[in-house]
Structure 1
Amino acid sequence: MSAFRRLLQKLEVAPDERPLSVLRNPDLEPIPHAKRQWAFWSFFAYYGLPNVSAATFSIGSALLSLGLDIKQSIGTIVVCNIVITLYTILNSNPGFKYHIGYTLEQRMLFGIYGSVIGIIIRVGLSVVLYGYLSWLGALCLNLIFSSWSKSYMNMRNTFPESVPMTTRDCISFLIFQLIQMPFSFIRPRKINVAGIVFCFMAIFSVIGILAYTVSANGGPGPLYYTSQELSSSQRAWTWLLAMTVWYSGISPVIANQSDYSRYGSHKLKMHAGVAIGVCLTGTLAPVAGMFSASATQQLYGEALWLPTDMALKWLEDNYSAKARCAVFFIGFSFTGTQLVVNLTQNGYACGMDLAGIFPKYINITRGTLFVQLISWVVQPWTFFNTSSAFIDSMTSFGIFTTPIMAINVVDYYIVRKTRISIADLFTLDPNGAFWFYHGFNLRAIFALLVGIALGLPGLIFSVNTKLKPNAGMNNFYSGYTFFTVIVSGLTYYILTLIFPIKQRVGVTDDKDYFNAFSLTECENLGMEPYTEKINCEYIDMERGRNRTLSGSAQPRLSLHSTPSAPQVIQLEASSKND
């Protein structure tokens, strides 16, 4: 064995009782039923955390800059939260029923090899969002340090004016990145308790900021009473754009919902947690942010949108024990919120995706460390320069993830009738359900590209104001929250009618090979429950495959059914290269 091959073997992730393969490692397998412990409060916090974070608190700045007033902005938020809840619940069920994450869903949608497309899209978004939320976490961490030391709060900036950050913020950013790294070694399903704690702490902080600013000002302030007169047409398109801004920030979370719905222990509790978490906290925080900003405009002569700016202003005006205590609590709650949100929605998500591309060498922990190390290259401090930069970054995310969500819903509910074979997600057999055409589902890829292509011109026009915009493309971009769902979903469905999928549509496994289903679930799905014998059968299959690979013949994994026996998985030696 060469030195290079020995090095590669040492770099392989630790296997479980089953050998690794080019498609499987322990982090990619369905979640065993004994480890699915997320219920109402876990899902409430999972969606409550991003909604009560510092970024969401300041979203009113983006909405008002579109030309809406506070009352109109609240209306768009309420309506959009209902839409977000519907999208999320529809996208939750594949992960809940079959206990698989976003990465395996991409194999189901785009094919065994085509899955790389959906995975790379989310890896790119995870890197950008991880850096963005890390910088915002650093601003929250500043509150803690500033409440401890007045010298730190008033630290002299040693950077030139051309650099869009201060020395103080840079130090906090580096420290926040270091704080996040040890959490890479925690399993994603175990961080729900910390999420629940920080979610409620952040809710109390949001309510406290709202109560203090409005009370100190003696009312909600001038922004609340400002009204905007828009024509019916202007109001309609502005509402759509405002809903897109609000939706797009959470659109990657909706697309990868199966990563966490697979931890769900009870379907109704999961859906209730999602609905209340989205609608309650998703209305409370932005409304509190707009009222507080309106009050600060009258109090301080300028509207402060970030809660970190408000808290630092309190310390600058009165560095008392009372103010320091309040700022510390606010800083600690928002810092914890940023930490959990960033890990669950970007760090762990990127780790899961990279494990799908390099299953022999990357697991969730290694993938999370990877995104932590490279996230600084997106220069997240530039996201906070102007409100337009903030809007552009927020509204662009959903262009890439919304088509995936739409295709997933159509494929799972309409094409496959909620029935899929998990074993087929781990095979290169051309007869497998997700092989399609040489490992690519061209129908889904085309529908994805159509949805993205129609949204890109509007994004380009919004970024480059020197170009003469096309009204139709701009309108599509403003409402892609709805239009892309229709276009990509309908395109995919029509293509499946013209070019029907022939491989094992609507087929489930006859055996629980991964110990992922309870006895009740096995009975409902018509599966033979997991046993040691089935586990040994799966291990023997993997070992046989590895032995064959070391020889001259290539293996072919065939899945077939017979009228008198359940589905059998066999490994047959063949000279054909899969």
Structure 2
Amino acid sequence: MSTQLEKYDATYRQHLQKTDVNESLNPKTDANRTIGPFNYIFMWIGDGVNIGNITLGASLFVAGIATLNIFQTFVAAIIAIGIISTIFSLNDRLGYRTGIPYVVQLRMSFGIKGSILPSLCRGIPAIVWYGYQSWIGGTALNEIVKIITDGAFDHVAICYVVLQLIQIELSLFGFHAIKWVETLTSIMIIVALLYVFGVLLTFHSDIITEKWVHAKGSWGLPFFAFIMTFMGNYAAIFLSAADYSRELKAGISETKRRFLYFVPILIAYGFALTIGAMLASATGISNPVKAFAIVVDNPYITFFVSVFIVLGTVAVNMVANIIPPTYVITLLTKLKFKQAVTLTGLLALASFPWVLVQDSSAKGLDIFILIYSAFLGPIVSILLIDYYIFRKQKVNVPELYQEDGPFAEYNPAAIIAMLIGAGTAFIKVELAWIIGVVVAGIAYILLTKYAFKDSTFKKGTIFDKQIMVKENENNREEFRHEI
């Protein structure tokens, strides 16, 4: 399958090269795509089996009490994963077909100037997640050094900085490093967590059964709030689906791509959530690294588990938390990729991630996810409506790069709809994502149809006057022919 970019003539390609855009943001051609289906699956397994998602499982326990039992947890997880994989495969289509990144995709709906705000809405949460994952990894690295030095060294802050510098160095290689890092680490992490799972079942099954399996739980607001938190945790990733699909080799259907998302997310997330809930119920501690040290009371096993936690930190950051904000920084600052990826790492280093999770509760992480998902839900709703309903999957990619083209300014309908959706979402923050999606979608349709009649963003849409006139003429011609 050839991408739409391959069909454009030499004039368009020369135009793309002349635009004032960093070359890393230019469309990917088929020849430059390096990720196959196998590596893509392991990329998402490596992303899903991580300490952040284990912490999400631990967040089911507040002051030692489970808000959901095991059955309710898995029902909520499967519902969320089904929705996530569907939205992923829908929102990745433009990037997969044309090779453009998320920050350029945003221009279709928000405009070149208008895309700054939604770009930041994606970039800032990723940087905070980058810092949080690195802090957890730094905690694990500290456990490793403590064992090696027999307790003589115990400085989490130093380990945090060292790990961050290592990740910055790895990220300089971009997606070429990601596919190998993800494949290797995801396998090793799963093996390590299987061991922990066995230990928990063998020595802590009674208390896990009492506190989680047989917990009363709730099918009410906590149940739906967990689905929203689950989806909010992934909202930033499937929002920038184009950043990943543009690296995937051509010739894979939408159905197969949905499979490439659903299966690894189900495996990885299901396992991570289970381990997190089991650890919290067995120890009463929400910080997985500290809980691991208690459950696995053996310095040698703790050493290897901590090694895998460090590897997991690197794996998830490489996929979800480094590349997207790097593209945002590249767009806003005009820095080259290596400079932007270094700045991303330094910003994550200063994000104070330890505030999100305390030993007694991980609710801070939940609240953070729900708050930023209030903005991300509206953005993905606007992108999908614009691409599938307004533009019928037809986008003139070169125009997205033209500084004086139809997408040059900002689209007031999209900006206002996003703010209306986000503002409404905060009325019930536990359901922020779905409220934002629905309200912003309705607002965007109404604003585009009835307001801003001279907006250049209507060009090429079902509201384009020239297209509407042509369709009316065709309809009249068909009517005459039938008569």
TM-score, normalised via structure 2 length? 0.84
Q: CA–CA distance in 2 between the matches of 1:68 and 1:285?
A: 16
Contact 2:279 2:292 in 1 (8 A): no
Q: Does residue 1:228 correspond to 2:235, yes or no?
A: no
- RMSD over aligned CA atoms reads 2.5
Question: Residues 308 and 331 of structure 1 are in contact (CA less than 8 Å); yes or no, is this contact kept in structure 2?
Answer: yes
**Residue 64 of structure 1 contacts residue 70 of structure 1 at CA under 8 Å; is this kept in 2?**
no
Asked if the contact 2:164/2:349 (under 8 Å) is kept, the reply is no
Q: Write the deviation string for residues 395-443 of structure 1: whole angstroms up to 9, x where unpaired.
A: 22211211111111111111111111111011123xx3423xxx11111
CA contact (8 A) 2:200 2:295 kept: no
Mind listing any 5+ residue stretches in structure 2 that lack a counterpart?
A: 1-12, 463-483
User: Which is worse superposed, 59-68 or 26-35?
Assistant: 59-68
What residue number does 1:401 align with?
Answer: 376
Instruction: Tell me the percent identity.
Output: 21
Give the Å deviation of 1:214. Answer: 1.0
> 2:240 corresponds to which residue?
256
SS in structure 2 of the partner of residue 193 of structure 1 = helix
**Paired residues for 1:72-87 under 5 Å:** 72-87=72-87
- Which of 325, 332, 338 matches 1:357? 332
Cα 1:282–1:229 change in 2 (3 A) is closer
Letter paired with 2:84: I
Q: Is the 8 A contact 2:54 2:276 kept in 1?
A: yes
Aligned length: 438
> Which of the numbers 481, 487, 494 marks the counterpart of 2:439?
487
Indicate yes or no: 2:279 matched with 1:303.
no
Structure richer in helix, relative to its length:
2
CA distance in 1, matches of 2:22, 2:109: 20
- Deviation track 1:64-97 (CA, whole Å, cap 9, x = no partner) reads 4373233322221121111111121111111111
The answer on 1:148 being equivalent to 2:136 is no
Unaligned 5+ segments in structure 1 are 1-15, 156-166, 457-472, 508-578
Cα distance 1:449–1:21, how it changes in 2: closer, same or farther (>3 A)?
farther
Match of 1:569 in 2: none
Q: Is the 8 A contact 1:418 1:506 kept in 2?
A: no
1:392 maps to 2:367: yes
The equivalent residue for 1:344 is 319
Q: Offset at 1:213? A: 1.6
Shift of 1:129: 1.8
How far off its partner does 1:280 sit?
2.1
Aligned match of 1:505: 460
2:40 & 2:186 partners in 1: Cα distance?
A: 11
Q: Match for residue 30 of structure 2?
A: 33
Q: What is the aligned partner in structure 1 of residue 466 from structure 2?
A: none
User: Counterparts of 2:204 and 2:121 in 1: how far apart (Å)?
Assistant: 45
- Counterpart position of 1:101: 101
Tell me the alpha carbon deviations over residues 251-292 of structure 1, each in whole angstroms, 9 at most, x when there is no partner: 111111110111111433433211111122221221233234
Q: Does 1:449 align with 2:419?
A: yes
Equivalence map 1:523-562=2 (5 Å): none
Q: Does 1:267 align with 2:224?
A: no
Give distance in 2, aligned partners of 1:306 and 1:207. Answer: 19
1:510-521 equivalent positions in 2, closer than 5 A: none
1:172 paired with 2:163, answer no
1 CA distance for matches of 2:276 and 2:133? Answer: 18
Counterpart code for 2:210: P
The corresponding residue for 1:123 is 123
Q: Which deviates further from its counterpart, 366-375 or 184-193?
A: 184-193
Alignment partner of 1:285 out of 240, 260, 272: 272
Cα distance, 1:45–1:36 mapped onto 2, change above 3 Å: same
Instruction: Decide which structure has the larger Cα Rg and report it.
Output: 1
Q: Deviations over 1:505-538 (max 9, x none)?
A: 169xxxxxxxxxxxxxxxxxxxxxxxxxxxxxxx
In the TM superposition, residue 489 of structure 1 has moved relative to its aligned partner by: 1.5
Give the secondary structure class of the aligned counterpart of 1:150: coil
Partner of 2:44: 47
Amino acid at match of 2:354: W
Partner of 1:83, secondary structure, is: helix
Structure 2 counterpart of 1:263, one-letter code = E
Amino acid at match of 2:91: N
Distance 1:356 1:229, change over 3 A: closer
Provide closer, same or farther for how the CA distance between residues 19 and 454 of structure 1 changes in structure 2, counting only shifts above 3 A: closer
Cα deviation 1:372-409 (Å, max 9, x = unaligned): 12223321122222433222223222112111111111
Greater relative contact order structure (CA < 8 Å, 6+ sep): 2
2:103 & 2:26 partners in 1: Cα distance? 10
Q: Distance in 2 between matches of 1:58 and 1:243?
A: 15
Distance 1:333 1:402, change over 3 A: same
**Contact 2:47 / 2:315 at 8 angstroms: preserved in 1?**
no
Superposed CA offset, 1:34-70 (max 9, x none): 1213232333233222321012113223224373233
Say if 1:403 and 1:484, in contact at 8 Å, map to a contact too. yes
Match of 2:227 in 1: 243
Bigger CA drift: 184-193 or 111-120? 184-193
Is the 8 Å Cα contact of residues 210 and 289 (structure 1) preserved in structure 2? no
Asked if 1 retains the 8 angstrom alpha-carbon contact of 2:51 and 2:133, the reply is no
Provide the residue aligned with 1:204 in structure 2.
Answer: 191
Structure 1 residue 243: Cα displacement: 1.0
Could you say which residue in structure 2 is the equivalent of 1:378?
351
Please tell me whether the aligned partners of residues 57 and 305 of structure 1 are also in contact (alpha carbons under 8 angstroms).
no
1:184 matches 2:171: yes
